[in-house]
Amino acid sequence: MKTLSNMGFAIFGAALVAISYGLARFAFGLFVPSISAELALTPYLIGVIGALPFISFVLATLVAPLAAHRLGARNLAVLSGVFGVAGLGLISQASDALSLGVGVFICGICTGLMMPALTAAMQALVSRTMHGRVSSIMNAGTSVGIIVAVPTVVFLSDAWRLTYTIFAVLTTMGVLAAWYFIPSVSRVIPANAAPPPPITRLQWSRLIRLSLFAFAMGFVSSPYWLFAPDLVVTLGALPPGQTGWLWFAVGIAGLGGAVVSDLADRNNPPITQALMLMMLSSSLVLLAASPSQLVLAMFSAMVFGLAYMSLTGLYLMTGIRLLPGRLSMGPVLPFMACALGQAVGSPVVGVLVDGFGYANAFAIFSVIGILVAVLSPMYPGHIDYWAEEEEPQPLPAEDTGLQAAFDHQLLDEDGEPIEPVSEETGTA
């Protein structure tokens, strides 16, 4: 195994996330027009199939912490990649709805296992003072993967089988690289780290509110991820090859999501949650209102990409903050809730498209998003790690941001953050 530097690992992790999230999970919507036409699939069937990778993502995420502990980071990352190769390969050979559904279901397992494997490796390889920056770069891999998928749609819009074969080959390369670069270790914890304290009633209350908002966001975003390309082809009569530019816009704007979520933690998370959710909802209406205008459709995609990636980053950061010392639970629950929202929303939007058409279906989801945004004052904002009063006090500026959230994951017996030392390889 070759040892990577902090930034080298960040870039490598982003590449694996690009494959497992961008190609294996979110690229599917780009090929819905071609796949549904060749396999004669109705919007309802596409909605059901589109829900499967989110269901398998949740199931894989449930077992991922235990798997990371038992198998180690390298083996879990390789296993994730193997599922990706199998799922993408099966999609490339799909002959009906059943085989297509099995393929996307397996791809969801790949997605659910990859980030826990990379997190375990990061805790062993990366200096604790760099965990925030490395995590942000790895999370940006989703946007990079979406961008990478664009040329295949622009130039191979009707050759979706060849495209998924190419994706499977790229994932195979990722498996080999994971075996070479990722160590076969589990999470490393300093000897002077105290076990996390019991979860309080206040923490449970805030975590439940966070998960409900994440579920709602996943539900509202599901029409865009699954049906946006098919909408502009069906309603706007745009060539299928041009739908790739929607995902290009989503990916480019999504790269700014980490910056927005970090700034939100330094200012007002509930207000940011409301603003981003309103932006996400407006992107649905804008796309439905201008499906034949590629420039406006791309603008809608940029708004959606920035809002979606900002919200997922915000939920990640809030989850880390709410449960210090529980990285296998705090940030995981809102991500599972978001995936469940997408799993529920996908078949629902399929039914609405079948019954009322694309424009009305997208409008209904947009209204739901706006209603949820109005409830954002209930979003759990800053939490003081040491506060015992019923309502925690706001954190000082120096204790905000993703790195500060990671810094408070290891506490000593007095409840104070453990300072990193030079001998440590790093953990959080």
> Going residue by residue through the chain (428 aa), what tens digit of pLDDT does each one get?
567 888 899 999 999 999 999 999 889 998 999 999 999 999 999 999 999 999 999 999 999 988 988 898 999 999 999 999 999 999 999 999 999 999 999 999 999 999 999 988 888 788 877 887 888 889 889 999 999 888 888 887 678 999 999 999 999 999 999 999 988 866 555 555 556 678 888 888 899 999 999 999 999 999 999 999 999 999 888 888 888 899 999 999 988 876 776 677 667 889 989 999 999 999 999 999 989 999 999 999 999 999 999 999 889 888 888 887 777 777 889 999 999 999 999 999 999 999 999 999 999 999 999 999 999 999 987 554 434 444 445 555 445 556 656 655 665 555 556 665 443 433 33
Same domain, 372 and 234: yes
Based on the fold, state whether residues 169 and 214 are members of the same structural domain: no
Alpha-helical (H) ranges within 72-197 are 73-92, 97-125, 131-139, 141-155, 160-181
Instruction: Residue 138: give its domain's CATH number.
Output: 1.20.1250.20
Assess whether 95 and 206 both reside in one domain. Answer: no
The distance of Cα 242 from the centroid of its chain, to the nearest Å, equals: 25
Q: What is the pTM of this model?
A: 0.87
Question: Do 215 and 164 fall within a single domain?
Answer: no
Three-state SS at 393:
coil
Quick one: pLDDT at residue 156? 77
Residues 224 and 275 in one domain: yes
Residue 233: inside a domain: yes
Do 87 and 178 lie in one domain? The reply is: yes
**Pair 175, 38 in one domain:** yes
Please, are residues 33 and 291 in contact by the beta-carbon 8 Å criterion? no
pLDDT of residue 395: 53
- Of 219, 261, 235, 246, the closest CA to residue 359 belongs to 235
Of the candidates 242, 393, 261, the residue with the CA atom closest to the CA atom of residue 320:
261
Q: Which domain holds residue 209?
A: 199-408
Total domains in the chain come to 2
pLDDT, residue 215, reads: 97
Do 155 and 204 reside in the same domain of the chain? no
With vertex at residue 143, the alpha carbon angle to CA 140 and CA 147, rounded to the nearest 5 degrees, is 140
Asked if residue 204 and residue 99 are part of one domain, the reply reads: no
Nearest to 272 by CA among 307, 231, 321, 242: 307
Sole residue written with tokens 């409900």: 212
